[in-house]
Amino acid sequence: MNFVYKIIIIFTFGFCKAQNKPNIEKPTLIPCSSYNPDNSIDKFIGTWEGNSNGKSITFILEKEKIIRKNSSCMDAIIGFHKFIDNGLEIENYLQFAHTLYSDGKSTTLGGTENSNTNLAFLLIDHKSKNKVVKAFISYIDATHLKIDKIENLQGTVLTLPGQPAYDSSIALPSNIILTKQ
């Protein structure tokens, strides 16, 4: 009789199938609860380069509609950067340009200031220093932007094994004019 029960159990579980894991790596088409387009972002979009005192920085900035945690949507500036210091490439993420924000490859995220649409802020992942910095950028004209200043974010930094040690200095150039390419 035990043999019959074992055969029934094996036969029953042989046809069981585990549930498929949801695809959380790709964006899903979730409708937004609200969405206000931000056309003031458009003037910051493009490939921008600047050089000063042996430091060179390149940004590829794109506009993307992203979904926030509360299911509302917003336009954001996402981007990728390359930083060269005295001819030595320190950071380069330009190869990830044109990927989606949800892919997690972008190194910048920002938007425009509500009170002045000629000002933008960018949170830049300054990976060689193991931190995120905030850059304030001014629109000058259709071919020029200016990085007015870059500052550290306030808060506590946790360094995980394998990451570079936290460094409070900022290597990225500020007070620099960027030219559209």
- Write 10-16 long-range contacts (CB < 8 A, 24+): none
Distance CA 76, CA 64 (A): 6
Residue 156 has what pLDDT? 79
For 28-38, how does the pLDDT look when each residue is reduced to its tens digit (9 = 90+)?
455 788 887 88
Parallel/antiparallel/unpaired status of strands 55-67 and 46-52: antiparallel
pTM: 0.77
Arithmetic mean of pLDDT over the chain: 84
